[in-house]
Structure 1
């Protein structure tokens, strides 16, 4: 009896000590495997029940086109913020954003005619935009779409997010790869002007068709790459060893599809 009582006292004392130290089984967070995948979601997943136990999430801001808003943006951001609780699991931000990109030229529903947007006079490295289908106006178009994404889509504190530029051939592009690069440079310039980090999502083939060869002087050079195209997690891990999309770029993420959802591997 005395021995049992002593054990009980010691047990209670240990529990109290752990509680005071903030430790103990009841308060410790379960470990998160370092190779847990991330996921990217957007308008196609509106209304779907999304999985849990993920390392990070990337939420699409647009509704498939560069000048639209994902109708589930706030809902999906709320899901990501409440579900992804393990930012230490990978090198990736816990929650990031991606945006659709395009260079529609004069066929677009809106095209810039000057270097001023929303009251801001933009320093345009391609010269004066005068409403033509050229690199100068493409730069302004990209700058404007990035502004809209950060300011008009309902994203709070946009400067705190990592922004991925989704560059795919299914969107509208010009035959002039230099003008397309200017468009993406304009987007990058705006996001960087608010203090946000930027990366590029594409495949080597699509990037080559759209943007061509990126000079080392471009602000696209050295941006992290997120590579699509893998069908399995093994393939995605293998793609981490591929070259980045621009000079000096490293592959930070690779994507694979499973169960109709896009999952992502964080490269070391």
Structure 2
């Protein structure tokens, strides 16, 4: 994340703790009194830090804070994640990626419907640069940007067998977005459609279904994406809700509405002692 977003907040708390104590963090078990199996999510802010042990499941960040870079500790953190014990409805190892729609302010913007030597089906029409280096910041090109970022996440960042994972889209206001929410939705739809295309019908080694879902808070999602039409591929995707400060709060958040119409809340997050913990909501 570019700024102190939801996951960055946990990294900042760890940093403050180090300043006060002058000590490196040790391995962390779930907070005292927690009897429910919980997971952890980690990414680049945890590079070089001792990671928790005994987690039921793990969600590892593939990108390094932006939609167009790589978590430098991805390989090590994926290896750690495989030690997860299981015992919940969540995959023992899942992935998450940063998302954004920077338009022409980004380091790259599409100029056509072609990416990775393939002509990408685009529900919004043709991303047409009309002879310019970059296409316009419109619905077709926004869709292509999202598709391209998801393609990169699955193919160039070091994930083996990407189609066997569950992928979460990390949607936060700390990244770059357009003021037109329809453009942002188009980018997220491009990402979703690519991840759906590679995960359809596939399962991980434990038999848990691969797929795609959305991580955010209701407030941030509303600011970025707004109301999702029923025809959108974002409709009905599982929701991973941030914002709780305790396990009790995370459990309570399982009863909140999902981020899109028909979306089940399957995971909720809370922060304790500078670490992100995740609760697997009961299936409904």
TM range (shorter): 0.7 to 0.9
Larger proportion of helix: 1
Shift of 1:35: 2.2
1:261 partnered with 2:275: yes
Is the radius of gyration larger for structure 1 or structure 2?
A: 1
1:150 partnered with 2:154: yes
SS of residue matched to 1:194: helix
Native 8 Å contact 1:34 1:90 kept in 2: no
TM-score of the superposed pair, with normalisation by structure 1 = 0.86
Runs of 4+ in 1 over 4 A off after TM superposition: none
Gaps of 5+ in 1: 1-32
- What is the aligned partner in structure 2 of residue 180 from structure 1? 184
Shift of 1:256: 0.3
Distance 1:69 1:53 in 2: 26
Q: Deviations over 1:52-100 (max 9, x none)?
A: 111100000011000000000000001111x21x33x100000000000
Native 8 Å contact 1:240 1:252 kept in 2: yes
- What is the aligned partner in structure 2 of residue 77 from structure 1? 78
SS of residue matched to 1:263: strand
RMSD: 1.0
Q: Deviations over 1:206-227 (max 9, x none)?
A: 0000001001110000000000
TM-score of the superposed pair, with normalisation by structure 2 = 0.81
Q: Deviations over 1:98-135 (max 9, x none)?
A: 00000001111100000000111111011110200111
Shift of 1:34: 8.1
Q: Deviations over 1:149-199 (max 9, x none)?
A: 000000000000000000000000000100100000000011111125000
- What is the aligned partner in structure 1 of residue 257 from structure 2? 243
Distance 2:67 2:222 in 1: 20
Moved more, 97-106 or 187-196: 187-196
Aligned length: 233
Looking at both structures, which has the greater relative contact order when contacts are Cα pairs under 8 Å and sequence separation is at least 6? 2
Shift of 1:146: 0.2
Mapping of 1:191-206 within 5 angstroms?
A: 191-195=195-199, 196-206=210-220
